[in-house]
Amino acid sequence: MKIAVCLKQVPDTEARLRVNDAGTWIEEEDLSFAINESDECALEEALKIAEATEGEVVVFSLGPARVGEALRKALALGADRAVHLEDEAFAGGDALSTARALAAAIEREDFDLILTGSQSDDLGFGVTASLVAGHLALPHAWLVMGIEVEDGGTARVVREMESGKNEILRLTLPAVLEVQAGINHPRYASLKGIMQAKRKPIDKLGVEDLGLSADEVGAQGAGLEVLSVGFPDSGAAAQILEGDPASVAAQLVEKLQKEARVL
Amino acid sequence: MAGNVWVVLQHRDGKLHPIALEAITAALGLAQELGVEVEAVLLGSGMEALASQAASTGVARVHVGDSESLAEYTPGAYVGALSEALTTAAPSFVVFGHSYQSVDCMARVAHAIGAAILPEAISFESTEQGLVFTRPILEGKMHSKVRLKGEGTAVVSFQSASFEAAATDQPTSEIVPLVGDSGAWKADRELLGVEDVAGDAVDLSAADLIVAVGRGIGGPEKMEIIEDLAAALGAEIGASRPVIDNGWLPRDRQIGSSGQTVAPKLYVAVGISGAIQHLVGMKGAACTVAINKDPGAPIFTVADYGIVGDLFKILPALSAAIREAKS
* CATH at residue A132: 3.40.50.620
Question: Which residues constitute the domain of residue A97?
Answer: 2-216
List Cβ neighbours of B2 (8 Å cut-off, separation of 6 or more): B34, B35, B36, B92
CB spacing of B314 vs A248 below 8 angstroms: yes
| Residue B300 to residue A238, Cβ atoms within 8 A | yes
- The rounded Cα B254 to chain-centroid distance in angstroms is 16
Provide the strand spans (E) within chain A. Answer: 2-6, 9-11, 33-35, 56-62, 81-85, 113-117, 140-150, 154-160, 165-172, 175-179, 202-205, 224-230, 239-241
B104: chain A residues, CB-CB within 8 Å: 130, 140-143, 159
Nearest chain B Cα to A141, which residue?
A: B104
Residues B172, B61: Cα–Cα separation, whole Å? 9
B261 touches A: beta carbon within 8 Å: yes
Q: Is residue A241 part of a domain?
A: no
**What digits encode the pLDDT tens for the residues A17-64?**
899 999 999 999 889 999 999 999 999 999 999 999 999 999 999 999
- Kindly list the residues from chain B whose CB atom is less than 8 angstroms away from the CB atom of residue A215: none
Predicted structure pTM score? 0.90
Question: Nearest CA of chain A to the CA of B86: how many Å?
Answer: 17
pLDDT tier, B205 (very low <50, low <70, confident <90, very high otherwise): confident
Pairing label, strands B305-308, B287-292:
parallel
Residues in chain B within 8 Å Cβ distance of A234: 301
Q: Residue B201: pLDDT above 70?
A: no
pLDDT digits (tens, 9 = 90+) for A113-147: 999 999 999 999 999 999 999 999 999 999 999 99
The answer for B 227-256 residues in CB contact with A (under 8 A) is 233, 241-242, 244-246, 251-252, 254
Range list of β-strands (E), chain B: 5-9, 11-12, 15-16, 38-44, 61-66, 93-97, 116-121, 123-127, 130-137, 142-148, 154-158, 174-177, 190-196, 209-213, 236-239, 266-270, 287-292, 305-308
Distance CA A129, CA A107 (A): 13
pLDDT digits 0-9 by tens, B170-192 = 999 999 999 998 888 999 999 99
What is the pLDDT, as a whole number, of residue B284? 87
**pLDDT of res. B109:** 98
Q: Do A232 and B259 touch (CB under 8 A)?
A: no
Q: What is the pLDDT of residue A238?
A: 87
Residue A18 lies in a domain: yes
In a domain, A111, yes or no: yes
Sort out which chain B residues have CB atoms less than 8 A from A38's CB and list them: none
The whole-angstrom separation of Cα B307 and Cα A147 is 41
- pLDDT of residue B36 exceeding 90, the answer is yes
Given a cut of 90, whether residue B13 has pLDDT beyond it is no
Q: If you average pLDDT over every residue of chain A, what do you get?
A: 95
Is it the case that residue B200 has pLDDT exceeding 80?
no
* Closest CB from A128, A232, A238 relative to B306: A238
3-state secondary structure of B206: helix
Where residue A234 falls among pLDDT bands split at 50, 70, 90?
low
The more confidently predicted of residues B183 and A108 is A108
Say if A258 falls within a structural domain: no
Q: CB distance from B303 to chain A under 8 Å?
A: yes
**Which residues of B are less than 8 Å from A263 in CB distance?**
233, 266, 322, 325-326
- What would the pLDDT profile of B40-99 be if each residue is shown by its tens digit? 999 999 999 999 999 999 999 999 999 999 999 999 999 999 999 999 999 999 999 999
Q: Of A124, A229, A237, which has the smallest distance from its Cβ to B300's Cβ? A: A237
Q: Among A59, A61, A47, which residue's Cα sits nearest to residue A9?
A: A61
- Cα nearest neighbour of A235 on chain B: B301
Cβ-contact B236, B327 below 8 angstroms: no
In a domain, A14, yes or no: yes
Contact A123 B137 (CB under 8 A): yes
**Contact call for residues B162 and B276 (beta carbons, < 8 A):** no
Query: Which residues from chain B sit within 8 angstroms of residue A217, using beta carbons?
Result: none
Which of B137, B251, B314 is closest, CB to CB, to A122? B137
Query: Which candidate in A26, A36, A127 is best for mutational testing of the B interface (most B CBs within 10 A)?
Result: A127
**Number of domains comprising chain A:** 1
pLDDT of B140: 86
Asked whether the predicted pLDDT for residue A195 surpasses 60, the reply is yes
- Domain assignment present for residue A197? The answer is yes
Question: Does residue A233 sit within a domain?
Answer: no
Instruction: Give B7→chain A minimum CA distance, Å.
Output: 19
Is A261 part of any domain? no
Report the C-alpha gap between B249 and B260 in whole angstroms. Answer: 14
Residue A13 has pLDDT above 80, yes or no: no
CB-based contact, B90 to chain A, within 8 Å = no
Cβ contact B118–A249 (<8 Å): no
Rounded to whole angstroms, how far apart are CA atoms B277 and A122?
A: 15
In residues, how long is chain B? 327
Contact A15, A31 (CB under 8 A): yes
